[in-house]
Amino acid sequence: MAYRTSQIAGHETRSVSTNKVLRNTYMLLAMTLLFSAVTAGTAMAMGIGQMNIFVFLIGAYGLMFLVHKTANSAAGLLSIFAFTGFMGFTLGPMLSLYLSLPNGPQLVMTALGMTGATFIGLSAVALITRKDFSFLANFMIAGAIVLVLAMVVAMIFNITALALAVSAGFVLFSSAAILYQTSEIIHRAGETNYILATITLFVSIYNLFVSLLSILGFASND
C-alpha cells in the first residue's frame, strides 16, 4: 500500500514538473517570437539589405552556442533573446523582398498561417496522444546532415529544383523537431530546461516559416 502511494506521489510530482516546463516553454516561446517579429520589423523599417551568408552563420551559430552554454543560469534568458532577436533581424530583408512582390503580402500571410497551424497541430498531437516520439532522433540527425549538404550544393551550383527540395525537406525536419521536443518534455524527466526546449521550438518554427515561404514563392513563380 505504501509502495503504491509512493508511486502515485511520484507520478503526480513528474506531472506537475512536466506541466511547469511546458508552461514556461510556451510562455518564453511566445515572448521570443514577438521579440523576433519586432526586430524583423525594425530591419524592414531601416531598409537593411540581405546579410552576408557567412556573417549570418557565424552570428546564428555563435549565439546558439552561447544559449546552450548559459542555459542553466539567468544569463540564458538574455542569450536566447539575443539569438531570437538576431534571427528576426536577418529575416527582415527577406520579408521586405517578398512584400515588394505583387502578391507578396498574401504569400507572407499564407506562410505565417500555415506555420502557426502546423505548430499548433503537431503540438496538439504530442500533448493529446502522449506518444513517445524519441524514435525521430536518428531520423533528425541523418536528415540534418543530408539537408545541410544539399543546401550547400544548391547554393554553389544555383540549382532551383534542389533548393525547392531542400525547403520541402526543412518542412519535414522542422515538423519532426516539434514533435520530438514536445515529446521529450512529456516523457523525459531530465528535459526540465525550458530555455533549451524553447530554442529548439523557435528554430523549428523559423525554418518552417522560411521554407513554406520559399515553396509558396516558387509555386507562384516569384
Instruction: Give the pLDDT confidence of 3-38 residue by residue, as tens digits.
Output: 454 444 444 455 667 788 899 999 999 999 999 999
- Structural domain including 77 reads 2-219
Look up the pTM and report it: 0.89
Summarised one tens digit per residue, pLDDT across range 200-212 is: 999 999 999 999 9
For the segment 55-79, the average pLDDT, to the nearest whole number, is: 94
For the segment 82-92, the average pLDDT, to the nearest whole number, is: 97
Number of domains making up the chain = 1
Compute the distance between CA of residue 202 and CA of residue 31 in angstroms, rounded to an integer. 11
Compute the distance between CA of residue 102 and CA of residue 160 in angstroms, rounded to an integer. 21
| Per-residue confidence (pLDDT) for residue 62, from 0 to 100 | 97
Q: C-alpha 163: how far from its chain's center?
A: 19
Q: pLDDT band at 189, cuts 50/70/90?
A: low
For residue 208, give every residue at least 6 positions away whose Cβ sits within 8 Å of its Cβ, in sequence order, or none: 115, 118, 119, 170, 171, 174, 175, 178
